[in-house]
């Protein structure tokens, strides 16, 4: 589905993130094979947990519940139609009792996927705009973006945990480099966050474009994103720990964003996403 060859770029970003995990272990816990083993085991453990639980974490964080076709006939009809068009199984559908307008997809593959809308987004979007949003979310599932972003978030968290563990356990103090340890402690989480941000932003642009192709209506998603930008600004979510961990899955950054937060956001700027969709609608391919 991708036209931007982001598979190779994502693989390189994952390699960089994994190298940061191993490097942090090496510098913080003593420069030895044992230290590298700690980092490798931690990376594999966190990646495995993220793989098997990627369809549950965000649902739980948003307190979402499954909805029947009787409860949400429009949502069911749209997702069924788009799933059939893509030749993919229909995901489970959820609604979160949240006034903040947003939506997300989760699940490690199309057979184990779920799509969730908040009550807020269902109130502010018309059917055409909702179709654009659901097309975007389905493409996250079909492009395996949920697994990718979940693993990126987990590995990024591993960097922070390694840094904190070093403060208490520290390894062999005679063999450790104190300056390197402080450098990892300060810059490691920042580097991990930047890599996670790059992966997430790339995937959002792809889901916008691929979702617009699936629905055949780029302007519907552009219109929905405008409403979402205003809606999130009016009703941002509180940055609770579980919500922060799940925020990279949502179609719009759910938090109130200042200039610094915006720079480190896992979401591309909304005006850029809208401009790309409008250019796509007019047949321009210059981006």
Decide: 142 and 88 in contact? Cβ < 8 Å.
Answer: yes
**93 φ, ψ to 5°?**
-115, 135
Which helix (H) or strand (E) segment is 70 a member of? none
**Measured distance CA(219)–CA(225) in Å, rounded:** 10
**Measured distance CA(206)–CA(276) in Å, rounded:** 11
Residue in 137, 204, 209, 229 annotated catalytic:
137
**Measured distance CA(105)–CA(20) in Å, rounded:** 28
How many separate helices (H) and strands (E) can be counted in the chain?
A: 12, 4
Long-range Cβ pairs for the range 231-234 (8 Å, 24+): 231/100, 231/101, 231/120, 231/121, 231/124, 232/100, 232/101, 232/102
137 is known as an active-site residue: yes
User: Which are the catalytic amino acids?
Assistant: 137
């Amino acid at each position: 589905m991708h036209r931007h060859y982001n598979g190779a770029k994502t693989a390189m970003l994952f390699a960089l993130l994994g190298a940061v995990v191993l490097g942090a272990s090496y510098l913080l816990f003593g420069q030895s094979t044992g230290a590298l083993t700690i980092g490798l085991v931690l990376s594999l453990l966190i990646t495995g947990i993220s793989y098997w639980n990627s369809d549950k974490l965000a649902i739980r964080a948003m307190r979402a519940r499954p909805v029947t076709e009787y409860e949400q006939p429009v949502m069911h009809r749209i997702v069924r139609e788009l799933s059939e068009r893509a030749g993919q199984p229909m995901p489970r559908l959820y609604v979160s009792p949240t006034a903040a307008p947003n939506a997300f997809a989760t699940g490690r593959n199309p057979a184990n996927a779920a799509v969730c809308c908040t009550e807020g987004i269902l109130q502010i979007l018309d059917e055409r705009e909702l179709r654009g949003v659901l097309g975007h979310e389905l493409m996250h599932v079909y492009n395996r973006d949920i697994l990718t972003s979940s693993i990126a978030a987990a590995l990024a968290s591993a960097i922070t945990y390694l840094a904190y563990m070093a403060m208490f356990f520290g390894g062999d103090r005679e063999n450790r480099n104190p300056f390197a340890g402080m450098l990892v402690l300060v810059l490691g989480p920042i580097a991990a966050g930047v890599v996670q941000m790059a992966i997430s932003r790339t995937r959002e642009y792809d889901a916008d474009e691929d979702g617009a192709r699936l629905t055949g209506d780029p302007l519907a998603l552009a219109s929905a994103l405008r409403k979402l930008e205003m809606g999130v600004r009016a009703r941002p979510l509180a940055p609770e720990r579980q919500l922060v961990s799940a925020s990279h899955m949502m179609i719009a950054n759910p938090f109130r964003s200042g200039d610094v937060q915006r720079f480190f956001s896992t979401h591309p700027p909304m005006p850029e996403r809208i401009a790309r969709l409008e250019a796509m609608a007019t047949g321009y391919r210059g981006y």
